[in-house]
Amino acid sequence: MLDVSAYLSRIGYTGSTQPTAGNLRAIHRAHLLAVPFENLDIGLGRRIECEDDAAVRKIVERKRGGFCYEMNGAFAALLRELGFRVTLLSARVAREDGGEGPEFDHLTLRVDLDEPWLADVGFGDSFLHPLRLQSGLEQPEGARTFRLVKDGDRLVLEMREGAKPWNKQYSFSLIPRRLKEFSGTCHYHQTSPESHFTQKRICTMATPEGRVTLADYKLIITRSGQRQEQMLNSEEERAEALKRYFAVVL
């Protein structure tokens, strides 16, 4: 059984846990500020299973993060224990060539309260607060704006920074899914040389001022819109950065 107190302690959340929109926003933000999006186990040859229990243990007990199947799988388990109504959804991530990844490429979440919400703590640098699951509504968040656009029987998540054009993030349908259905693409992403998760070690996490990212040996820190980059020179420096900025010890 999921230890709710331990999970909430892990993400530093001490507020109300009643299933309300305000509490969902607060818990969602707390998760993103405490748990990094990372694929470090893949580089270490450690198999990742599509099991929410394993993901919860990794995040809560081992003080680690994970990628979408782990992060949103664990977050969905937490929300359900708190009394939220959560549905797993399959998403197809946008590619640079204009295409999309396959079905089950990404796991995202629908949370139903008085109105439906899109929650996602497993997409890296994206929205900090859940989005209203409503087509055509522009939802600002700092310098960014998000919206959902109807495309046939799918919804497309788009993001715009400032006055830049809208940028497609992923598309999804509202068909309810089970975590085991994502096992095939989870296996692909951690084993295929064509998967971007096997090509680069990544660890990234939102901060109150912006974001910190470690991509292989490149450390990127963004504060109040100002970006600084530093190349690390060794595995020792990389391990030190993981511990300092993400509290991750491999």
Q: From the candidates 120, 186, 189, 203, which is the catalytic residue?
A: 120
Q: From the candidates 28, 31, 41, 68, which is the catalytic residue?
A: 68
- The amino acid occupying position 123 is F
What sign results for the dihedral spanned by CA atoms 224, 225, 230, 232? positive
Instruction: Using CB atoms within 10 Å of the CB of residue 20, give its burial: 0 to 12 exposed, 13 to 18 middle, 19+ buried.
Output: middle
Q: Mind spelling out the 3-state secondary structure of 132-143?
A: ECCECCCEEECC
Say whether 3 is catalytic: no
- The amino acid occupying position 128 is L
What separation in angstroms does the CA of 113 have from each of 84, 183, 195?
Answer: 8, 28, 36
DSSP bridge partners of 214: 203, 219
DSSP state of 45: T
Say whether 106 is catalytic: yes
The full DSSP string for 34-100 is HS-EE-HHHHTT----S-HHHHHIIIIIS---B-HHHHHHHHHHHHHHTT-EEEEEEEEEB-TTS-B
**Which residue numbers are catalytic?**
68, 106, 120
